[in-house]
Homo-oligomer: A and B are copies of this chain.
Amino acid sequence: MTIASHTKIRSPRQQVETAIEEMIVARSPGDRFPPGPELAKQLGVSRATLREVLGAFVERGALVRRHGVGTFVSSRIPVLESGLEVLESIDSLAQQIGLETEMADLEVLERTATPLEAQGLGTPAGKAALPVLIVNRVIAVAGEPIADLRDIVPLKYLRKEDLDQEFRGSILDLFLARSSPILSTSRTQIMVVSATAKFAQRLKVPLGSALLKLGAQLYSYDEEIVAYSVSYFVPGHFNFHVMRRVKQI
């Protein structure tokens, strides 16, 4: 048994993924990519592996491949990975566009989940009461509230003690930093609601004004729901968008 190095072992696939991503951001929309065989050699990887990775970027809409012609950077992506299809914390989103966020009204408590919360966590109804950690807070920029976030996490995955003084308000970032549980995807429902008295007060908006509500189940790599989060956004501060592919017939 050799002494394990502390550098993470990254599979060829992962290496190529980040390399391609860097190549894309370094190029302008419409630019040509090096031909497959050449790029594969350059990255020290087989063409098959390279093709699998390129295919993923095509699927995401970042690259366009044309049979017999070439591979090109898509001309319709202003900034890579800024859409809703990638799950990132509000903090890192704000950081990318150079915003300083503040956290207000933080509230952390442990209790049993309400039926609605249990449903959001995918627990079959009628089961024993599920103990959860509730993290509630308001995100503000320059003193102006822009979002109200509530995370519901089964105690199995996170306890009150795990939140140290440095807690910046993002359960997602916490999980990613601990790398346990390992996260994979999130299923996010998109809704609109009118501000109730409670939210009107917390977000400093008129009663009954329109809010964007996102409800998200966070899935671990082994397909467990590790968190259910509900967010309310004040319009105008974030630009959410989604790349949708057309269902060919």
Contact = CB atoms under 8 A, between A and B. Distances in A.
Interface of A: 30, 48, 51-52, 55-56, 59-61, 64, 74-76, 81, 84-88, 172, 176, 183-194, 208-212, 216-217, 219, 223, 235, 239-249
Contacts of A192: 192, 210-212, 235
B52 A223 contact: no
Among A187, A191, A210, A223, chain B packs the most CB atoms within 10 A around the CB of A210
Contacts of A75: 223
A198 B145 CA distance: 30
A76 B217 CA distance: 10
26 contacts: A30-B223, A55-B55, A55-B56, A59-B60, A85-B85, A86-B245, A86-B247, A88-B247, A176-B246, A186-B243, A187-B241, A187-B242, A187-B243, A187-B244, A188-B241, A188-B243, A189-B239, A190-B212, A191-B240, A192-B212, A194-B210, A208-B208, A210-B210, A210-B211, A216-B244, A242-B242
B81 A246 contact: no
A191 B88 CA distance: 19
A54 to B, nearest CB: 9
Contact of A191 (B84, B235, B244, B245): B235
- 9 closest residue pairs by CB, A with B: A210-B210, A87-B244, A190-B240, A192-B210, A183-B246, A186-B244, A192-B192, A59-B59, A192-B212
B88 A245 contact: no
A172 B55 CA distance: 25
Contacts of A223: 30, 64, 74-76
A85 B185 contact: no
Number of copies of this chain that the complex holds: 2
Contacts of A191: 212, 235, 240
A157 to B, nearest CB: 15
Nearest to A122: B76
Nearest to A17: B248
Contacts of A187: 76, 241-244
Nearest to A52: B55
Nearest to A56: B59
B194 A242 contact: no
